[in-house]
Structures are given as structure tokens and as C-alpha cells.
Amino acid sequence: MMYHMSTPESSAAWRELLSAFADFEKLFLEGPKAVRGELAVAEGYQFLATMLGLSLDVNFFGDPVAPRFLDLLTPFRHDRRWGGDNTDAYYSYAVVDPRRTYRVSGTPNGSSMYSVAVYNEPEPGAWPNRTVGVLYEGLDIMGNGSILIEFVLAAIATFVIEGDFAKAAAFALVGAVLTYFGFMFGPAVGIGHSFCVRPSLAYGVVAAFLFALSRRLVFAATRCADSRFCSD
């Protein structure tokens, strides 16, 4: 007597994976997003190969019992240079078991910012919809201002160019406060670190200057509203 085994779930999943990737080429071969030229087509298949490799690393070879970080995005591997928020971005991924406890170790080296984030999995293979926890040891580096300095200075410059000196003064004041508490320029977060006092005062002087300039422009505009003070 012969017994016929039903199709295993793993076999069905494997076939579904191969079938899906076989159809993905239509994204760049057909429709309004179709590319032209052999080089562009080859780059499309290269991107698909990258996505397939990522899928296998994350979902097929990931081991929550003995997890290790896998390269999702890195400038050091040609098959992992597919996107990211900047050319030096380095993202890794590891599958973990929520019933277990893990210890993560490493060195930041010259990273401007680093963090470890844990995401949920609503159901097997589903995209995360909630952040379970974040380990942001990059706070010390953030205290040096590598991120916030850029935001504050960019905002000040933008509003100065637009002539909105009141908003530029407000952001300069924010910079003064953040610097005083060590979020910018400081070696650590705190109150009035010696190294933070001078930059904080500098931001305060800039804020006062910009605010005075904004009031002067408002006063000039008010006077010009009266024809006795302004001529055509």
C-alpha cells in the first residue's frame, strides 16, 4: 500500500517565493515604469538578486536560538548597496525570540549615530507594525551634536534666507538651550558643562541679534504703512 504525502508547507512556501520573484521582473519590463536598454534591464535583475539574497538571509537562514547580525545595507558589499538614507549607512538584522534574553556587544568606532531597535512580528512573515524597544547608546555621540547641530543650523539658515528672522531667532534660542544641557557640542548630557557654556552663549547672542533684526524690520514695515514716512 502506498501513502501519498500532502504537499509540505515548506515546499509550498518555496514555490510561492520562486513564483513571486519570477513575476517581479514585470515591474521594470512592463507598464509605465518599464526601463529601456540592456544595461537598465540588467540592473533590474541585479536588484532582484539583491532582494532575493536579503530575503533568504533574513527569513531562511535567520536563527533566533543563536542569532547573529546579517548585513542588510552596507557600503562594503556590492550585493548590499541598494538604498539607505546615506551612502555610508550600515544596517544589520537579526532574528530573535521574545522568550529569550540576549546580550548585544560591539564598538561604535567612528559612527556618527548608532542604535539597536527591536520590532514585533504580528504574524509569521508579516511586516512589523510596532517598535518593541530601542537601545540608543548613541546618546553620547548625539550629545556632541552630530545630528541636532545639523537640524538647528539648517533651520536657522533656511529662515534667514527666507527673511523670516523671528523663526531663525527661535531656532537659535533652541540651539542655545540644547547646547547648555549638553545635547549639542557637549561630551555628555547634563547641565552647564564647561565646554557647553561658550557655544550656548554664542547661540544666545545670535538669537538676540536675529530677534532684534526681525523687530527692526517689523518697525520699518509699520512705518512704511503710513504714507508720511514712505515715498513711492
Reported as a single tens digit per residue, the pLDDT across 21-33 is 888 898 899 988 8
Does residue 4 lie in a domain region? Answer: no
Domain limits for position 87:
62-137
The answer on 110 and 164 residing in a single domain is no
Residue 190 has pLDDT above 50, yes or no: yes
Domain end (from 81, 111, 137): 137
Average pLDDT of every residue of the chain: 78
The answer on 87 and 41 residing in a single domain is no
pLDDT at 178 (0 to 100): 81
The answer on 96 and 86 residing in a single domain is yes
Higher-scoring residue by pLDDT: 211, 105: 211
pLDDT at 230 (0 to 100): 54
Residue 11 has pLDDT above 50, yes or no: yes
Q: Model's pTM, two decimal places?
A: 0.51
Does residue 169 lie in a domain region? Answer: yes
Does residue 3 lie in a domain region? Answer: no
The answer on 128 and 72 residing in a single domain is yes
Average pLDDT over residues 64-79: 85
**Structural domain count, the chain:** 3
pLDDT at 51 (0 to 100): 86
Through-space distance between the first and last CA atoms of the chain, rounded to whole angstroms: 106
Higher-scoring residue by pLDDT: 156, 84: 156
The answer on 218 and 173 residing in a single domain is yes
Average pLDDT over residues 39-59: 88
Does residue 230 lie in a domain region? Answer: no
The answer on 196 and 131 residing in a single domain is no
Higher-scoring residue by pLDDT: 111, 60: 60
The answer on 182 and 206 residing in a single domain is yes
Please state which of the ranges 22-36, 79-93, 125-139, 186-200 shows the lowest mean pLDDT: 186-200
Q: What is the pLDDT of residues 118-154, one digit of tens each?
A: 888 888 777 788 777 766 654 444 445 556 777 788 8
The answer on 91 and 26 residing in a single domain is no
The answer on 70 and 15 residing in a single domain is no
